[in-house]
Amino acid sequence: MSKIKPSQGAPYARIMGVGGYRPTRVVPNEVILETIDSSDEWIRSRSGIVTRHWASDEETVAAMSVEAAGKALADAGITAGEVDGVIVSTVSHFQQTPAVATEIADKIGAKKPAAFDISAGCAGFGYGLTLAKGMVVEGSAKYVLVIGVERLSDLTDLEDRATAFLFGDGAGAVVVGPAQEPHIGPTVWGSEGDKAGTIKQTVPWDRFRIGDVSQLPLDSKGEVKFPAITQEGQAVFRWAVFEMAKVAQQALDAAGITADDLDVFIPHQANMRIIDSMVKTLKLPEHVTVARDVETTGNTSAASIPLAMERLLATGQAKSGDTALVIGFGAGLVYAATVVTLP
């Protein structure tokens, strides 16, 4: 018989507050067209994106996260000193170690919380939310800060006609804490590693150590390109629309609700066509509010769901207590979907 006493966590967990940060620089499609042969009409028809935000040198991954975290803490009504855990999902923090979560925790004034980074691409927020829920229910933390943050402008090949217009920068954060009723449903998550090549970094970092320029991509001026994100657009589109609609339905089933019970749908803001196709495939009722933040924010990967959630609440398109289906999907290929009550 085990001598270990049972965990003393909360019965359930909930999202208590949300905050977001978008860099001050707004980049319209006209800027993207300076480096690719395309048109504003083509970009809008393919992605629905009109503008995106790009970070300045001062708007680092850590700096944007601190701003978003501060807003989420204020919204939740708790102080940084009460935070027991900081989880940061990002693929664009270029210092391998230490985790940027530790820097963020220190800058917001948290007192020795567990702090770590995760890399789950555009599904990263869902992964972080699930881990935070587990920490609260298990009893190792009372309040956990979950941050999705990206500077994807650093990983964008501005000469790549297929991806140059897609990516933006920003940070979104939520506070997860205890609840007496279930406000975060079971997570349906997973990966399909056999499709990993459909979204990837062009070259690994260690390729730069070889010193052989012939092994590295060059730009139009013959200079070595910095690693960037590349993808097989059509393959990703088909996977996202058909396979992720199935995952979204599984999340509804796991939560014990139907599409009719939903108030809000917040999918990863990858592409407007993907969002609209998922809405159609899921047969969502007209009363369901659908997040379409991608139009003015672009694809911000791990930050896209909390940023979209924050905007819906701030603009009154969604309200506290609404039932929302959230789903993230991307490089890996990985995915995570769950049903939540909005803070």
Q: Which residues are catalytic?
A: 122, 268, 299
Which pairs with CB-CB distance under 8 Å and at least 24 residues apart come from 221-227?
225/157, 226/154, 226/155, 227/155, 227/201, 227/202, 227/203
Distances (CA, A) of 125 to 122, 129, 151, 213, 310: 7, 6, 15, 36, 14
Peptide bond just before 129 cis, omega within 30 deg: no
Distance separating alpha carbons of residues 5 and 197, to the nearest angstrom: 45
Distance separating alpha carbons of residues 259 and 188, to the nearest angstrom: 16
- 152 contacts: CB under 8 Å, gap ≥ 6: 92, 167, 168, 169, 229, 299, 300, 301
- 315 contacts: CB under 8 Å, gap ≥ 6: none
- What is the total residue count of the chain? 343
Which residues, listed in sequence order, are joined to residue 1 by a DSSP beta bridge? none
Which residues, listed in sequence order, are joined to residue 266 by a DSSP beta bridge? 326
**3-state per-residue secondary structure call for 19-80:** EEECCCEEEEHHHHCCCCCCCHHHHHHHHCCCEEEECCCCCCHHHHHHHHHHHHHHHHCCCH
In contact, 273 and 214? CB cutoff 8 Å? no
Distance separating alpha carbons of residues 329 and 79, to the nearest angstrom: 32
- 45 contacts: CB under 8 Å, gap ≥ 6: none
